[in-house]
Structure formats: C-alpha cells, structure tokens
C-alpha cells in the first residue's frame, strides 16, 4: 500500500459513531445488599475516581431505571423478583440486560480483578472505549478487548476471503490482495478506538494516524508480504496461514499502538516480531472462537451461563 492508497482508505472511513460513543461517559449500576460493601467493590473494580460513573444501590431501591445504564454489576445474585422485573423491562424495550453477578467471596487479587474487568468490557463491548477513556482501572481491559475483537474479525474475514481461491488462477490473484484494504481499514478503526481510550484529540484523525504511522508501518509491510505468500498456496493449505497472519498481524499492530500510547515508545523490528509471535500463540488458544459466525473472542476463563449474564 502506497501513501496515496493509505490516504484514500482514511478518507473513506467514518469516525463519527466511534467519537460519539467515546465522548459519552459510561454508566454502571452496582447492586449490593450492603451499600458499604458495594462501595468497596466499586473502588476495587472501577477505581477511586469512579463515583461519577458507577452508582451503588441496594436491591430495595425501586426508583432506579436499569435501562439508563450500560451494564449492571450485582454483588451476589439479584433477588429473583427484581431480576424478573428488570428482565421484562429490557425485553419490552428490545434491549439486552447486561448483567454480571459477582460472588461476594470472589478473590480480589489483581489478576482476578483484571479478569472481571475484561468480562465487563466483553459484555458491554460497544461501550468499552468509554470505559477505558473515563475509568483508568478499566483501560487495560478495554484495550485488550478491542485488540482481541478486531483480531478475531480480521481472522474471520481472512478465512472468508480465501474462498475465491477455489477458482483457478483468477481466484488466487483475487485472494492475494483483495482483502488487504478491508483488513487495513479494520486496523485503522482499531487504532482510532485506542486513541480515544488514551484521550487523544479525536477531532484530528490525521494527527492520530501520523502519530502512529512509524509505530505500525513495519507491521503493515511484513503482514502484507506474508499473507500474499500464503494466498498462493492451494485453498486447503492457504486458508489456515492467512487466518493466523490476519489475527497475529492485527494483534501486533494493536499492541504496538497500545505500548506507544502508554509509554511513548516505538518498537524495533525484533520487538514487533516478538509481539507477532504472541499473536500466533493467541490464535492457537482462541482457535475454537475463530469459526465464522462466532460472536465472542476468547475471553479469560470463567463460568458463564446462556444469555447476557456472567457469573463469578
């Protein structure tokens, strides 16, 4: 991709919705029988500065509109009558009740809290940018969710784009480069979301990309070369490498952007290669989630039930 193609891609992208979602502060309802205990969990999960964004109530509070919140965190199970009442309100509003139930004796070790934050961002993924932008403790989970989700989408698209390779000669030529623009657009949108999380000026998208161009430029180069080589293989041999390359390449670009925003550093070729290897390992661990039509990326292991409720 030359500079003219790059500029053309950016001009075609629409950032209005991302900017709009990023600028709206998140709202979380935390339900606890003991308000003091609820405040403790609010601080543990969302941080000391989360009070404007997280409202702590008891189940006996009847004047709370659950539809006004991006997600609901319950310390212990919600009372059955309240759960049914709220579920009915969401159903009538054609909305999903995003509920995370945390066991009161849940471990508060750092890795367990990070696991919980990641599931919150996964369940409320359309608001993960706002979670990371306004709540510092949620930033790592939000960036991880965005990078993983984009990597999964690109991997699935790479699998679909390899189908034309069944057509002799012409199919191979199409598969060698037709998907590049779509994968690149997804990566650019991912970078813009990360910029939003790290409080960059969202009105100047050119500044965002010029800032990150040296960070991810090498990633675009080796990813393109590798995918084109894989596309020249027969379909049965080429599909899996292309999926892995799309996933690992997107993962590497996302991690490079995240490290730049966090520490102000760019990565060397060897460091980018190391992150790419991490992405390939992530492909193996998420293999079952990369099937076409899968809605969720591999999330940290944790018990969950059907629907939009997660339990810890």
Structure tokens at 131: 């979670």
* Segments making up each domain of the chain, as ranges: 3-20+135-289, 25-126+302-311
Q: How far, CA to CA in Å, does 309 sit from each of 43, 98, 118? A: 22, 6, 14
Task: Tell me the three state secondary structure of residue 65.
Answer: coil
Q: Is 133 exposed, middle or buried (0-12, 13-18, 19+ CB in 10 A)?
A: buried
> What sign for the dihedral angle of Cα 2, 184, 147, 191?
positive
Chain centre to alpha carbon of residue 220 = 20
Beta strand pairing status for 54-57 and 28-31? parallel
Given pLDDT bands bounded at 50, 70 and 90, which one contains residue 28? very high
Provide the Cα torsion 114, 258, 131, 249; round to 10°: -90
Q: Where are the alpha helices (DSSP H) in 54-127?
A: 80-92, 110-123
Given pLDDT bands bounded at 50, 70 and 90, which one contains residue 32? very high
Q: List Cβ neighbours of 306 (8 Å cut-off, separation of 6 or more).
A: none
Looking at the predicted structure, is the pLDDT value of residue 301 above 50? no
DSSP H/E element including 71: strand 71-75
Q: What would the pLDDT profile of 73-91 be if each residue is shown by its tens digit?
A: 999 999 999 999 999 999 9
- At 247 the pLDDT is 85
Name residue, tokens 């290897």: 277
Name residue, tokens 């996302």: 254
Q: Which of 195, 208, 218, 194 is nearest to 267 (CA)?
A: 218
Structure tokens at 76: 């212990």
Q: What would the pLDDT profile of 40-61 be if each residue is shown by its tens digit?
A: 999 999 999 999 999 999 998 7
- At 276 the pLDDT is 76
Q: What would the pLDDT profile of 231-254 be if each residue is shown by its tens digit?
A: 544 544 445 677 778 888 888 888
Highest mean pLDDT among 29-33, 186-190, 266-270: 29-33
Are 183 and 252 spatial neighbours (Cβ–Cβ below 8 Å)?
Answer: no
- At 186 the pLDDT is 87
Q: How far, CA to CA in Å, does 105 sit from each of 75, 108, 302, 312? A: 9, 9, 15, 10
Mean pLDDT value across residues 256-271: 80
Lowest mean pLDDT among 79-83, 93-97, 173-177, 228-232: 173-177
Length, in residues, of the chain: 312
What is the second-level CATH architecture of the domain 25-126+302-311?
3-Layer(aba) Sandwich (3.40)
- At 218 the pLDDT is 53
Are 258 and 278 spatial neighbours (Cβ–Cβ below 8 Å)?
Answer: no
Question: What rounded mean pLDDT belongs to the chain?
Answer: 78
Looking at the predicted structure, is the pLDDT value of residue 208 above 60? yes
What backbone phi and psi angles, to 5 degrees, belong to 28? -125, 135
- At 87 the pLDDT is 94
Rounded Cα distance, 183 and 232, in Å? 18
Q: What would the pLDDT profile of 164-173 be if each residue is shown by its tens digit?
A: 554 444 344 4
Looking at the predicted structure, is the pLDDT value of residue 131 above 80? yes
- At 275 the pLDDT is 81
Q: Is 206 left (phi over 0), alpha (psi -120 to 50) or beta?
A: alpha
Q: How far, CA to CA in Å, does 69 sit from each of 53, 72, 123? A: 10, 7, 13
Task: Tell me the three state secondary structure of residue 100.
Answer: strand
Name residue, tokens 């050119």: 206
């Amino acid at each position: 991709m030359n500079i003219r193609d790059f500029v053309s891609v950016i001009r075609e992208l629409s950032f209005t919705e991302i900017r709009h979602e990023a600028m709206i502060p998140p709202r979380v309802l935390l339900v606890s029988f003991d308000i003091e205990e609820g405040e403790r969990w609010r601080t543990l999960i969302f941080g000391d500065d989360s009070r404007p964004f997280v409202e702590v109530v008891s189940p006996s509070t009847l004047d709370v509109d659950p539809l006004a919140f991006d997600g609901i965190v319950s310390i212990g199970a919600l009372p059955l009558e309240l759960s049914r009442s709220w579920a009915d309100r969401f159903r009538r509003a054609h909305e999903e009740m995003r509920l995370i139930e945390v066991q009161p004796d849940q471990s508060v070790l750092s890795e367990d809290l990070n696991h919980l934050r990641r599931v919150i961002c996964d369940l409320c993924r359309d608001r993960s940018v706002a979670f990371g932008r306004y709540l510092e403790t949620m930033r790592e989970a939000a960036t991880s969710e965005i990078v993983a989700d984009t990597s999964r989408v690109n991997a699935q698209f790479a699998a679909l784009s390899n189908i034309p390779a069944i057509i002799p000669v012409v199919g191979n030529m199409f598969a060698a480069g037709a998907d590049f623009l779509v994968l690149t657009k997804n990566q650019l949108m991912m970078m813009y979301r990360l910029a939003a999380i790290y409080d960059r000026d969202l009105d100047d998208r050119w500044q965002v990309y010029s800032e990150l161009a040296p960070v991810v430029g090498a990633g675009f180069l080796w990813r393109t070369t590798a995918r084109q080589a894989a596309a020249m293989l027969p379909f049965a041999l080429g599909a899996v490498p292309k999926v892995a390359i799309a996933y690992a390449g997107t993962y590497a670009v996302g991690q490079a952007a995240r490290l730049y925003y966090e520490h102000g550093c760019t990565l060397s070729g060897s460091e980018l290669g190391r992150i790419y290897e991490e992405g390939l390992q992530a492909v193996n661990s998420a293999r079952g989630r990369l099937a076409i039509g899968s809605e969720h990326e591999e999330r940290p292991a944790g018990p969950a039930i059907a629907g939009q409720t997660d339990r810890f």
